[in-house]
Amino acid sequence: MVSFILRRLLLMIATLIGLTLLLFVVARILPGDPVGLAAGPNATAATIAQLREQFGFDQPLPMQYWTYLTGLLQGDWGTSVFTRRPVFSDILAYLPATLELVFAALFLAIVIGIPLGLLTAVYRNGVLDYATRTLALGGIAMPRFFLGLLLQLAFAAWLGWLPLAGRFPFIEIPPETVTGFYTVDALIAGDMYAFRIAAAHLALPAIAMALSPLATIMRMMRASTIEILQQDYVMTERALGLSNRLILFKYVLKNAMTSTLTVIGLYVSWLLGGTVLVETVFDWPGLGLYATQAILTQDFMPVIGVTLVIAIIYLLTMLVVDVLYGVFNPKVRYA
Amino acid sequence: MALLDITDLQLSMKSYEGETQILHGINLKIERGEIWGMVGETGSGKSLTGLSVSRLISTPPGRYLAGSIQFQGKDLLKTSDREMRALRGRHIGMIFQDPTTNLNPVFRIGTQLVDVALHAGRTDPSVLGLSAGASRRDFKAAARKTAIEALESVGIPDAASRIDDYPHQFSGGMRQRVLIAMAMIGKPDLLIADEPTTALDVSVQAQILRLIHELVAERNIGVLLITHNLGVVAQICSHVAVMYRGRILEAGPVLDVLKRPSHAYTQALLESVPTVHTRRGELRGLSGLSPEMFV
């Protein structure tokens, strides 16, 4: 298994180099002048030329790419023309907020979706099944940003239970950074007050992001559970007196997980991409917001950097999923 | 008191096309030490009779119209689900047709055996050689030990290490042995075997039948062996019941029924068994269609 993981990691590097080439070329052939935008309307031609030279835009494209690629390996991901800061440190600053949001959404989707899928399979065509099916359809059909707006309207504007937007109020002191996730850091510090604030801010965007994967995971789980429940071995397990709870949550669950696992893996990238919309709606200071800003100012380097980070996380997730297949299905061989 | 006494069992099944009576008054009495073969065509109600004894037919769609299933004096049709579950695995063991699909593929066989042993042990700690007040850890250890012994008793070599293997690491015959071990782990009084050898080749079939025979001799249990193979019946059964369209047409000691069949259907059934002297093109079938359920 170790050699399997190592080989996959090597392959990942090749994939990522290909991706940088693609991104770089696409970003550069798009019309637009980031330097001109950044320099402002009153800049002289000399200033613009100087900036152009400073950012290396005067070099031929292959040279620019080579400089970028070699820099990438040394941790130099280029400089944002807009913020004038290194892209890498910008990303490091924004990434935890996004990951916290993505993990929270994924956690909700898995922890609620899997048991609901199991139960609706057992009590299919019952009240719970119809209720969740309706919700699931809504969850899949409704765009995240729209759902986000509805949630803001209901829980922040009307009910006033939760904050409208943002990650942490400026007037409060955030917990000491350990993981970069405010909720987790607050728990580590034992600061329940900060945890409540962080969780309250996290709740709405996480729910807005979670509903679609939750619905898909639930429906997927329901379908595979129904199939597994008809297997002969379930009859044998019942015939030998095992309790329904043991059969469902141990013997059926593990069998039904394999197909659901694929969906969960795919949703990690879906969620990462989706942060662009949800973070804008909720003013969540994460990669999505950063990338949106960069795109609006035609700032190449951050766009490439963010895309690259999402790609790396996606590839790593897929590797984890592939390894987990082996955990859930003993017949899987790593080769 | 008979071990199992089925009287006038009538079962109907609901479907989109309406309700149909499947079993029309089954009467069967099994004593300890007897191996009852139950033969009949596909759809004659053999398996549903077997499943009824373990109460594994969901109601609905099933519905018992009349009759009783007395197991050691207790009417199973009137037993609560909870009590029924306590009987399963501990007092009534079951094995099914296809050993390749009856073991859960993603769990080690030991996990499945231990869970069944734990279930039987909770119902009756003496199965695991424990007293009622034993600790959780004792239960776990004893269940694993019992599982290994069960595997040894069905002839799995090197049971102590094979217990941690997955089902796909066993051959078909070995898997059926594992399933028999699983059914026998709770030391049941009655074993229901639903076509246990149909999916196996003849030599393995003979081994499995011998194994069941030995278990009966050793533990004095009763067996209901559902099969459509008259050869199997002749080999190991002490009694046989011939089923047709939800009725038992003829039942009794195996020699009486097979040597001197009194019912025309039994005679026809026996005549349609091919022998070594059957020539090509001479295979006989039974005339008429098997149950026309919905008319």
- Give B284 to chain A, closest Cα distance, Å: 33
Instruction: Please indicate if any CB of chain B lies within 8 Å of the CB of A231.
Output: yes
Residue of B nearest to A254 (CA): B106
State the residue range of the domain holding B122.
36-54+81-271
Q: What pLDDT, on the 0 to 100 scale, is given for residue A224?
A: 92
Closest CA to B55 of B68, B37, B42: B68
Q: Which residues of chain A have pLDDT under 50?
A: none
Residue of A nearest to B120 (CA): A241
* Count of C-beta atoms within a 10 Å radius of residue A155: 18
Residues 6+ apart with CB under 8 A from A119: A128
Answer yes or no: are the C-beta atoms of B266 and B249 closer than 8 Å. yes
- Give B283 to chain A, closest Cα distance, Å: 33
Closest CA to A305 of A19, A6, A4, A5: A19
Residue of B nearest to A256 (CA): B106
Q: What pLDDT, on the 0 to 100 scale, is given for residue A185?
A: 79
Q: Which residues of A touch B112 (CB under 8 A)?
A: 237, 251
Domain ranges for chain A: 2-73, 87-328
- Give B279 to chain A, closest Cα distance, Å: 38
Amino acid, res. B226: I
Closest CA to B32 of B187, B147, B173: B187
Q: What pLDDT, on the 0 to 100 scale, is given for residue B93?
A: 92
- Give B116 to chain A, closest Cα distance, Å: 7
User: Are B168 and A330 within 8 A, CB to CB?
Assistant: yes
Q: Which residues of A touch B16 (CB under 8 A)?
A: none
Give me the residues paired with residue B18 across strands: B15
Closest residue to A255, CB basis, from B85, B106, B115: B106
Pairing of strands B239-244, B35-40: parallel
Q: Which residues of A touch B116 (CB under 8 A)?
A: 240-242
In a domain, B122, yes or no: yes
**Taking the domain A87-328, which CATH number applies?**
1.10.3720.10
Q: What pLDDT, on the 0 to 100 scale, is given for residue B250?
A: 87
Report mean pLDDT in 10-residue bins for chain B, 295 residues. 89 86 90 90 87 88 89 88 90 89 92 92 84 84 91 88 93 89 90 86 83 87 89 88 87 84 78 73 65 48
User: Are A240 and B119 within 8 A, CB to CB?
Assistant: yes
User: Are B54 and A329 within 8 A, CB to CB?
Assistant: no
CA dist B56 to A26, A111, A282, B49, Å? 63, 31, 53, 10
Answer yes or no: are the C-beta atoms of B293 and B16 closer than 8 Å. no
Which residue numbers of B have CB closer than 8 Å to A's CBs? 54, 56, 85-90, 93-96, 98, 101-108, 112, 115-116, 119-120, 123, 166, 168, 179, 182-183, 186
Best mutation target among B55, B79, B102, B124 (most A Cβ atoms within 10 Å) is B102
Residue of B nearest to A244 (CA): B85
**Alpha-carbon gap, residue B221 to B114, rounded angstroms:** 22
In a domain, B279, yes or no: no
Instruction: Please indicate if any CB of chain B lies within 8 Å of the CB of A239.
Output: yes
Amino acid, res. A239: A
User: Are A236 and B103 within 8 A, CB to CB?
Assistant: yes
ipTM for the whole complex: 0.86
Amino acid, res. A85: R
For residue B215, the domain's CATH number is 3.40.50.300
Number of domains in chain B: 1
